[in-house]
C-alpha cells in the first residue's frame, strides 16, 4: 500500500480500490499535552479523498471538528443539510427533507450516536411512526405507510453519504424494510367524462389549461411555467423546458427534473387553434391596457397582470369547478393520467409514451400504468390472428 504525507497535519493512506484512510492531527490536548489524531474511512476517487481531507483540516483549524464517534444523528443531519442537500436538491425537496427530519427523525433518534445506529433502530422507528407518527392531540394517529416510506428513503440517502464520508462503515438503512404500500388505483376519466369536463368549462378561465393538460399530459408545474416562446404554432409543437414550484421562500422557476423531462410534445390541431385564440385574446387585452406586444418570456397561462399562476391555486380552482359545475370528482393530476391512459389504449408503445410524459425511464411509466397495458393485450392476439390465422383453416 502506498502512503503519502500531505502538507499540513493530515495524510491519506490507500486501503483498497477507491478506499482511503484519512488521518488528521488536532491541536495538543490542554491536559495531556499530546497531539490527538483522528482517523476516517472514505470511499471515492483520490481527488475526492484529498478534497475531504482538506475539508476536515479546515474544520479542525476553525475549531469546529467533531469526533465521528461522538457525532449524533441530529448533528449529522445538520452537516448533511449544509454540505450536500442545500446544493444538490431543489429548494422544495430540501424543505421536504428538513420537515421529515424535524418532525419524524430528530425527535426520535436524533439523540443517538450516529455510529451506534443500527438497522434494528430504524425498524423500531418505522413501527413507531406507523403507530403514533403525527404525535399531536389533534392528529394522534400514526403516519401512512407511504409517508414512512419517504422517511426511509431520506435516511437511506443521507446515511449513504455518511458511509461515503467515512462516518459509518455500512448504511443501516440498506437492510431496513419500510412498510409495504398498498397500490392505489390511479384516477382516469373516460371519453364521455372528458367531453363533459371540456363542455362545462368552455368559456371559463380554466378551460384552456385543462384542455392543454388533457392533450399533452403535462404536469401542473410545467403548465404554469410554459412560455409563448416555447410554443411553435406552425409546427404544432411545444417545448417543455422548466417547471414552476412553490416554496416557503416564494415561487421559483426550475429546470425539469431530468434530461428526459426536457421534451418536445406534438399538439393536436384543436389545441393549436385554442392556443392561437388564447394568444390573440391576451394581445388584445394588453393593447387595451396600453402595454404593447407581449415579451417572448410571457407565460401562456397567467393572471391579467402577467404574473404566474400559483400551482396550488390551480388545484384550488379546479376543485371549485368540480364542486360548482358537477365535474367528475378527480384531482387535477388525473388529467395527466387520463392522457397516458388514452395513449396506452391506442396501442402506442411504452417508450414513446414515457418520452411524451417526460418520465426518467420507461420503467417509471410501467410502474405507474402497467396495469393499463393489460387492456391492450387483445391487440397482440389480433395481430397474430391476422398474420397466421388463415394457415390453420386451410
Domain assignment of residue 8, yes or no: yes
In a domain? residue 215: yes
Look at residues 174, 205, 225 and tell me which one is the last residue of a structural domain: 174
pLDDT, mean over the chain: 87
Mean pLDDT, rounded, for 227-255:
93
At 272 the pLDDT is 96
Residue 112 · residue 121 · CB < 8 Å:
yes
Question: Does residue 217 sit in the same domain as residue 166?
Answer: no
Least confident residue range of 48-57, 71-80, 116-125: 48-57
Do 22 and 143 lie in a common domain?
no
Residue 244 has pLDDT above 60, yes or no: yes
**Would the pLDDT of 59 be above 50?**
yes
Number of domains in the chain: 3
- Which phi-psi region, left, alpha or beta, contains residue 326 (left: φ > 0; alpha: ψ -120 to 50)? left
Residues shown for the chain: 394
Q: Tell me: pLDDT of 337 over 60.
A: yes
In a shared domain, residues 47 and 142: no
147 vs 154, 164, 171, 315, CA distance in Å? 11, 26, 21, 22
363 located within any domain: no
pLDDT-derived band at 243 (thresholds 50, 70, 90) equals very high
The CA distance from 79 to 85, in Å, is: 9
Tell me whether strands 242-247 and 250-255 are parallel, antiparallel or unpaired: antiparallel
Range in 31-40, 54-63, 232-241, 315-324 with the lowest mean pLDDT: 31-40
Does the pLDDT value for residue 259 go beyond 90?
no
For residues 293 and 126, what is the distance between their CA atoms, to the nearest angstrom? 57
**Tens-place pLDDT, residues 289-308:** 888 778 889 999 999 888 99
State which of 313, 329, 345 marks the end of a domain: 329
Establish if 216 belongs to a structural domain.
Answer: yes
Q: Kindly state whether residues 289 and 247 are assigned to the same domain.
A: yes
* Co-location of 218 and 160 in the same domain: no
Identify the residue with better confidence: 92 or 29: 92
pLDDT computed for residue 106 by the predictor: 95
Same domain, 243 and 143: no
Given this model, what pLDDT does residue 268 score? Answer: 95
Residue 23 and residue 36 in contact, taking contact as beta carbons nearer than 8 Å: no
Question: Which of the four pLDDT bands, split at 50, 70 and 90, describes residue 35?
Answer: low
Strand order in the sheet with 19-28: 3-5, 10-16, 19-28, 35-43
Q: How far apart are the C-alpha atoms of 187 and 360, rounded to whole Å?
A: 22
Q: Is the pLDDT of residue 136 over 60?
A: no
- Note whether 313 and 196 are same-domain residues: yes
Whether residue 138 has pLDDT greater than 60: no
205 lies in the same domain as 313: yes
C-alpha span between 314 and 226 (Å, rounded) = 14
CA–CA gap between residue 108 and residue 127 (Å, rounded): 12
Residue 394 placed within a domain? no
CATH number of the domain to which 170 belongs: 1.10.150.130
pLDDT at 31 over 70: no
Best CA proximity match to 181, nearest among 131, 142, 146: 146
Question: Is 247 part of any domain?
Answer: yes
Q: Tell me which residue has cell 390541431.
A: 269
Indicate whether 53 and 94 sit together in one domain.
no
Q: Which domain holds residue 34?
A: 3-65
Segment 267-273 shows an average pLDDT of 95
Same domain, 197 and 300: yes
Cβ–Cβ under 8 Å, residues 216 and 339:
yes
Q: How confident is the model at residue 341 (pLDDT cuts 50, 70, 90)?
A: very high
User: Do 92 and 111 lie in a common domain?
Assistant: yes
Using the predicted structure, report yes or no on whether residue 40 has a pLDDT greater than 80: no
CATH of the domain at 272: 1.10.443.10
Has residue 145 been placed in a domain? Answer: yes
In a domain, 389, yes or no: no
Of residues 3 and 293, the one with the higher pLDDT is 293
Going from the C-alpha of 93 to that of each of 85, 88, 165, the distances in angstroms are 9, 10, 22
Give whole-number Cα distances, 219 to 54, 103, 281, in Å.
Answer: 43, 29, 24
| Max avg pLDDT among 3-7, 185-189, 209-213, 282-286 | 209-213
Q: Answer whether residue 94 shows pLDDT above 90.
A: yes
Q: Within this chain, do residues 257 and 214 fall inside the same structural domain, yes or no? A: yes
pLDDT of res. 110: 95
Is pLDDT of 30 > 70?
Answer: no
pLDDT at 218: 96
Per-residue pLDDT tens digits for 206-233? 999 999 999 999 999 999 999 999 999 9
Answer whether 350's CB lies under 8 Å from 365's CB.
Answer: yes
User: Of 127-131, 331-335, 373-377, which gets the smallest average pLDDT?
Assistant: 373-377
For residue 8, name the pLDDT band (cuts at 50, 70, 90). Answer: very low
pLDDT at 78: 93
3-state secondary structure the chain: CCEEECCCCEEEEEEECCEEEEEEEEEECCCCCCEEEEEEEEECCHHHHHHHHHHHHHHHHCCCCCCHHHCEHHHHHHHHHHHHHHHHCCHHHHHHHHHHHHHHHHHHHCCCEHHHCCHHHHHHHHHHHHHHCCCCCCCCCCCCHHHHHHHHHHHHHHHHHHHHCCCCCCCHHHCCCCCCCCCCCCCCCCHHHHHHHHHHHCCCCCHHHHHHHHHHCCCHHHHHHCEHHHEECCCCEEEECEEEEEECCEEEEEECCCHHHCEEEECCHHHHHHHHHHHHHHHHHHHHCCCCCCCCCCECCECCCCCECCHHHHHHHHHHHHHHHCCCCCCCCHHHHHHHHHHHHCCCCHHHHHHHHCCCCHHHHHHHHHHHHHHHHHHHHHHHHHHHHHHHHC
User: Where among 329, 363, 378 does a domain terminate?
Assistant: 329
Q: Please state, for a pLDDT cut of 90, what percent of the chain lies above it.
A: 55
What residues does 237 pair with on adjacent strands? 232, 266
Of 111-125, 126-140, 209-223, 257-271, where does mean pLDDT reach its minimum? 126-140
Amino acid at each position: 500500500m502506498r502512503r503519502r504525507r500531505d502538507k499540513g497535519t493530515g495524510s491519506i493512506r490507500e486501503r483498497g480500490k477507491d478506499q482511503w484512510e484519512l488521518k488528521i492531527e488536532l491541536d495538543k490536548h490542554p491536559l495531556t499535552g499530546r497531539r490527538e489524531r483522528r482517523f476516517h474511512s472514505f470511499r471515492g476517487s483520490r481527488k475526492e479523498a484529498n478534497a475531504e481531507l482538506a475539508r476536515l483540516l479546515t474544520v479542525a483549524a476553525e475549531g469546529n471538528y467533531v469526533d465521528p464517534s461522538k457525532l449524533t444523528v441530529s448533528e449529522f443531519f445538520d452537516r448533511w443539510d449544509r454540505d450536500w442537500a442545500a446544493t444538490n436538491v431543489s429548494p422544495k425537496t430540501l424543505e421536504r427533507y428538513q420537515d421529515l427530519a424535524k418532525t419524524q427523525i430528530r425527535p426520535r433518534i436524533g439523540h443517538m450516536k450516529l455510529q451506534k445506529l443500527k438497522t434494528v433502530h430504524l425498524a423500531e422507528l418505522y413501527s413507531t411512526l406507523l403507530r403514533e407518527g403525527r404525535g399531536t392531540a389533534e392528529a394522534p394517529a400514526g403516519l401512512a405507510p407511504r409517508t414512512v416510506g419517504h422517511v426511509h428513503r431520506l435516511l437511506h440517502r443521507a446515511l449513504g453519504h455518511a458511509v461515503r464520508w467515512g462516518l459509518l462503515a455500512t448504511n443501516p438503512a440498506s437492510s431496513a424494510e419500510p412498510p409495504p404500500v398498498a397500490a392505489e388505483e390511479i384516477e382516469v376519466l373516460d371519453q364521455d367524462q372528458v367531453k363533459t369536463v371540456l363542455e362545462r368549462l368552455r368559456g371559463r378561465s380554466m378551460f384552456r389549461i385543462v384542455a392543454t393538460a388533457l392533450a399533452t399530459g403535462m404536469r401542473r408545474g410545467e403548465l404554469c411555467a410554459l412560455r409563448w416562446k416555447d410554443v411553435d404554432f406552425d409546427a404544432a409543437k411545444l417545448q417543455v423546458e422548466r417547471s414552476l414550484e412553490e416554496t416557503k421562500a416564494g415561487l421559483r422557476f426550475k429546470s425539469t427534473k431530468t434530461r428526459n423531462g426536457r421534451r418536445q410534445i406534438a399538439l393536436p390541431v384543436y389545441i393549436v387553434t385554442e392556443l392561437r385564440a388564447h394568444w390573440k385574446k391576451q394581445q388584445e387585452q394588453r393593447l387595451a391596457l396600453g402595454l404593447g406586444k407581449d415579451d417572448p418570456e410571457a407565460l401562456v397561462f397567467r393572471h391579467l397582470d402577467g404574473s404566474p399562476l400559483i400551482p396550488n391555486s390551480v388545484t384550488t380552482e379546479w376543485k371549485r369547478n368540480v364542486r360548482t359545475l358537477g365535474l367528475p370528482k378527480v384531482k387535477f393530476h388525473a388529467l395527466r393520467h387520463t392522457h397516458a391512459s388514452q395513449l396506452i389504449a391506442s396501442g402506442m408503445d411504452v417508450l414513446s409514451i414515457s418520452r411524451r410524459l417526460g418520465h426518467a425511464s420507461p420503467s417509471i411509466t410501467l410502474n405507474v400504468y402497467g396495469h393499463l397495458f393489460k387492456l391492450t393485450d387483445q391487440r397482440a392476439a389480433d395481430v397474430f390472428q391476422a398474420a397466421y390465422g388463415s394457415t390453420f383453416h386451410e
